[in-house]
């Protein structure tokens, strides 16, 4: 008779074999060892190093931000690598402002004038405006604004004048500079100027910018004051203050029509042309009135 204990033991062993789950693969078999990662790390290092080398050999192209070309800190070698002439000029322009070195402006071929003007304003150095390739008046205007000193406008070229009617009435030289200064400065800056001519030209500039004849009333030079009233005319009252008859007639002619906001149209101003003495200007005024009336018929 077989041994009962052996039979029971054999039966239990068979049951265990039937219920034992399938053996899972060992994940450690698929993990790379430390030394096996070395080729991967070497490849990544070579790629990253190559990118940095390329960037250093091929500097950034300037990006325009608010009219300026803001770059990482540049060197002369950086600009030399740029093949495009326009971008290379802008690079040298940026380099000149970065290092405050006007010699780079000579290399900024397409931006030379702008470079000298910007550097002169930054350094508050009027001598840079005397470069023969620079627009002097615009350059001195920048310095006037930067230093809050409108007297720099006196360095502008003396070739600015108006044509009114058939004659030319020469306005104060540098007046364009004073007008530009008035957009950023304060009228009180004019009061502080000791030279009377410069002070009155400063008022002239503010009258134009503010479109107010109140500044013209401070001008004692009759010719300048007449031109100031014409330039800053804010109504017929400005024309009536003008002494020179031809400038006054031209002023009246400017008011032959006015824009009526309620009608959204130009409307003739009654009796304005009748005040004009010069026949040619008067005829032009009547013609202007007639053209204003056409849409109203």
Task: Give the domain ranges of the chain.
Answer: 67-123, 135-244, 256-297
pLDDT tens digits, 250-289? 999 988 887 665 656 666 676 789 899 999 999 999 888 8
Residue carrying the six token digits 């804010």? 234
Residue whose C-alpha is closest to residue 245's, from 162, 167, 161: 167
Instruction: Give, in order, the Cα–Cα distances in Å from 113 to each of 41, 77, 92, 136, 150.
Output: 52, 22, 12, 10, 22
pLDDT tens digits, 163-197? 554 455 666 677 888 888 888 888 888 998 899 98
pTM metric for this prediction: 0.62
DSSP reduced 3-state for 93? helix
pLDDT tens digits, 48-61? 776 665 555 444 44
Please return the burial class of 161, using the count of CB atoms within 10 Å of its CB with bins 0-12, 13-18 and 19+: middle
Residue 69: its H or E element: strand 68-70
Beta bridge mates, 267: 258
């Amino acid at each position: 008779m077989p041994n009962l204990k052996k039979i029971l033991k054999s039966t239990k062993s068979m049951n265990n074999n039937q219920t034992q789950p399938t053996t899972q693969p060992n994940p450690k078999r698929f993990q790379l060892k430390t030394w096996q990662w070395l080729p991967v790390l070497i490849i990544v290092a070579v790629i990253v190093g190559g990118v940095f080398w390329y960037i250093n050999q091929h500097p950034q192209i300037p990006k325009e931000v608010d009219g300026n070309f803001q770059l990482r800190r540049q060197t002369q070698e950086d600009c030399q690598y740029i093949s495009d002439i326009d971008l290379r000029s802008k690079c040298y322009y940026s380099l000149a402002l970065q290092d405050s070195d006007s010699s780079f402006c000579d290399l900024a071929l397409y931006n030379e004038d702008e470079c000298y003007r910007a550097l002169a304003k930054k350094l508050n150095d009027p001598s840079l405006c005397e470069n023969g390739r620079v627009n002097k008046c615009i350059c001195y205007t920048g310095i006037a604004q930067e230093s809050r000193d409108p007297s720099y406008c006196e360095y502008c070229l003396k070739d600015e004048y108006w044509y009114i009617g058939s004659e030319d009435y020469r306005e104060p030289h540098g007046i364009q500079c004073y007008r530009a200064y008035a957009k950023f400065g304060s009228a009180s800056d004019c009061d502080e100027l000791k030279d009377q001519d410069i002070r009155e030209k400063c008022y002239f500039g503010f009258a134009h910018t503010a479109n107010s004849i109140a500044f013209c009333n401070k001008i004692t030079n009759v010719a300048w004051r007449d031109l100031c009233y014409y330039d800053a005319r804010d109504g017929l009252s400005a024309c009536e203050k003008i002494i020179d008859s031809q400038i006054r007639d031209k002023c009246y002619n400017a008011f032959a029509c006015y824009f009526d906001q309620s009608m959204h149209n130009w409307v003739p101003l009654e009796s304005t042309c009748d005040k004009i003495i010069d026949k040619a200007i008067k005829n032009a005024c009547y013609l202007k009135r007639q053209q204003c009336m056409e849409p109203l018929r």
